[in-house]
Amino acid sequence: MIRETLVPIAAGTIFGGGLTIGGMTDPARVRGFLDLFGAWDPTLAFVMGGAVLVMAAAWMMQRKLLRPFFAEGFSLPDRNDLTPRLIGGSALFGIGWGIAGLCPGPGFAALAIAPASAAIFVAAMLAGMLVVRLMEGQG
């Protein structure tokens, strides 16, 4: 029960809270970060820097653990995970992020703050996910 339900809810709540506090649910702030030659907003750089520090600490802790606290084993990426599909999807993600000013996490968090505009983004994102599933024969 705890591993399957409460841990993901807690992690998602902390993640969403951090995105909200960092201002990442505001598309104008994200677009401001990407506007290098205009009114550049460095907020996203600080959010990314904080994420890098947390991840660095997690990597150091992981090396000392025999197994994760809430899983049977570690599932760590390697270079074999870098496929053309992943690279293409990452590029498409970045383009969409730059245009909309939102990515999935902040998009869902923004549903509580600006439901009308966030709902358009979330609906388009879910439609895109459905199209990919249908194209791959999984839908």
- Segment 68-85, tens digit of pLDDT: 887 888 888 888 888 888
CB 128 within 8 A of CB 46: no
Reading the block at residue 33, the tokens are 């970060």
Task: Note the pLDDT of residue 49.
Answer: 93
Q: How many domains does the chain have?
A: 1
The 3-state DSSP class for residue 4 equals helix
* Separation between Cα atoms, residue 27 and residue 128, nearest integer Å: 20
Task: Note the pLDDT of residue 139.
Answer: 54
Closest CA to 42 of 50, 34, 53: 34
Task: Note the pLDDT of residue 52.
Answer: 94
* Separation between Cα atoms, residue 85 and residue 137, nearest integer Å: 15
> 108 lies in which domain range?
2-135
* Separation between Cα atoms, residue 131 and residue 139, nearest integer Å: 8
Dihedral angle over CA of 114, 50, 104, 40, nearest 10:
60
Task: Note the pLDDT of residue 74.
Answer: 85
Task: Note the pLDDT of residue 136.
Answer: 82
Q: What is the DSSP string of 6-18?
A: IHHHHHHHHHHHH
Q: Which residues of the chain have pLDDT under 50?
A: none
pTM for the model stands at 0.68
CB 109 within 8 A of CB 25: yes
